Homo-oligomer: A and B are copies of this chain.
Amino acid sequence: MAATIKDIAKLAGVSPGTVSRVLANKVGFFSEHTGEKVRAAAAELGYQKNTAAAELVTQQSNVVAAIVNSTKTNFASPIIEGIQAEAHRHDLNVIILYAGDDDSEQQRRALTTVIERPVRSILLLSVDLAAENLTLLQNSRIPFCFLSISFDEIQVPYITSDDWQVGYQATQTLLKLGHQNIGLAGVDSDFHTGRQRVAGYRQAMQEAGITVQPEWIQLGNYSYTAGQAAMRAYGANSGLTAIIGASDMAAVGVLNTARSLGYRVPTDLSILAIDGTEICELVQPALSSISQNFYEMGVAGVQQLCAPGELPQKITPIKLVERDSLQRNG
């Protein structure tokens, strides 16, 4: 139904090849006169290019796909913004797919819809791919890069913050304020990211000569409810004077539950969030955070995929952002 290059050719009285060259603006391949004719015909027919067909013959595409693990993770937004901005600079288009939360079936669906189509490269935002899906991805021979997640067991390109440093610096920040009994809430220990954060935390505590009590580390999945659960586990008489939320959401969970348990924040209890997204500024008191540069991760992700040969694993910087949820102890 839609007009094709052939319709234009017929209307303008030239060959399809010529139309293609005019529309692609291959200068030097057609006269002023035919250029005019073709463009007029195209406009008259309301021509829309069928890029899929073009990609079929050129065997290349200018779309990069971003697969994100959940609609709920709030840090995906700045990463995507970074991707969009940098993609724009390289004249690439971005499509986004949601892969659900650790649902390997949904992951597979998202993955195949992009693999089966001509996409130039794939960015995976914080998605922990099931083993069979990783093989699928690797077999596709499409360049890819993980963002905001790291691995130790497998050798794949990724860009993320130094999670060990995240844990270490968070803990150091609180130690410097005189805190000794410091909790770590909502962190998961199943994946590399969480393990690294815990390791950084432990190292900082050890250097300060403090023995970490087992109950100080409350595991979870970084969610709001994980933060709530952690705080309930600490209880009203935890003896803690500071808590690190393993994510912003976890920190908010800690904050709200601590309040309902009777803590005043930051007077009785300091809270330090990890991530530093928008949500830190929305709650009161605004949460101080070890902030990741998510935007930069997105930018670096598409750069890495545009300039192969670069080293495949990159670390983006983190920094402490002071807001209102920390207070010196004693």
Contacts and interface: CB of A to CB of B under 8 A. Distances in A.
A212 B1 CA distance: 54
Interface stretch (A10-18, A165-173, A276-284, A300-308): A276-284
A27 interface: no
Interface residues of A, number: 43
Nearest to A116: B51
List the number of copies, as a whole number.
2
A141 B1 CA distance: 9
Interface stretch (A93-101, A149-157, A178-186): A93-101
A95 B113 contact: yes
A259 interface: yes
A240 interface: no
Contacts of A84: 98
Nearest to A249: B282
A72 interface: yes
A282 B283 contact: yes
B95 A95 contact: yes
A49 interface: yes
Nearest to A118: B52
Nearest to A63: B113
A52 B56 contact: yes
Nearest to A79: B71
Contacts of A201: none
Contacts of A284: 256, 259, 283-284
A2 interface: yes
Contact of A98 (B1, B46, B80): B80
A13 B71 CA distance: 46
Nearest to A92: B113
A109 interface: yes
A55 to B, nearest CB: 6
A45 to B, nearest CB: 10
Contacts of A96: 95-98
Interface of A: 1-2, 46, 48-53, 55-56, 63, 71-72, 77-78, 80-81, 84, 88, 93-98, 109, 113, 115-118, 139-141, 224, 252, 256, 259, 279, 282-284
